[in-house]
Amino acid sequence: MTRFRHLIWMLIATAGLILSTTQSQAQLRSPDVGDQPGLLADDSIELDPEFKKTAVLYRTNEPAGTIIIQTAERHLYLIQGNGRALRYGIGVGRDGFQWQGLVNITQKKEWPDWTPPPEMIQRQPYLPRFMAGGPGNPLGARAMYLGTTVYRIHGTNRPDTIGTAVSSGCFRLVNHDVADLYERVPVGTKVIIRQKPEL
């Protein structure tokens, strides 16, 4: 009887592992929500108050001018010093596309062109290989390029995705917020990406 129960539990565990792996693979193959060329942003969408730009208290040892991205919170903080920061609501990478690290802003572009990376083309073969910057471009009004990665802090033509986890690893802000941030930070700005809040 004990061996029979053990066998049943092993079968259940194996089925769970297969299901989990299948779901993860499906997520990696699923479309990048918000990467929709030609869609014009609906600026009438009202953001949840939690994701509107606001000045907040924020304790950190990082100097003023540093950007801290808290993936789990869906917030980007621009440190102001004296225990304060500007907080912006963001969209982040979906499961399987979240990451953390320390990078610098290496480039800044207004109304950036979009060249989807090969990995994205593989997942979504219907995407254009190149799209000139403009209101219908998924990168939105501004982009700040992160280190030597393929990731950016950028605008979006899908403001309804702010506060969600649906991208391929980039960090999205509504266009008026990304334009505001763009004016406040120079090339070379330190960017800290954290998946979990500091203890």
Letter for the amino acid at 109? K
Residues that are catalytic? 154, 170
Nearest CA among 149, 144, 145 for reference residue 180: 144
* Contact status, residue 40 vs residue 157, Cβ threshold 8 Å: yes
d(CA 161, CA 157): 9
* Residue 78 main-chain phi, psi, to 5 deg: -105, 110
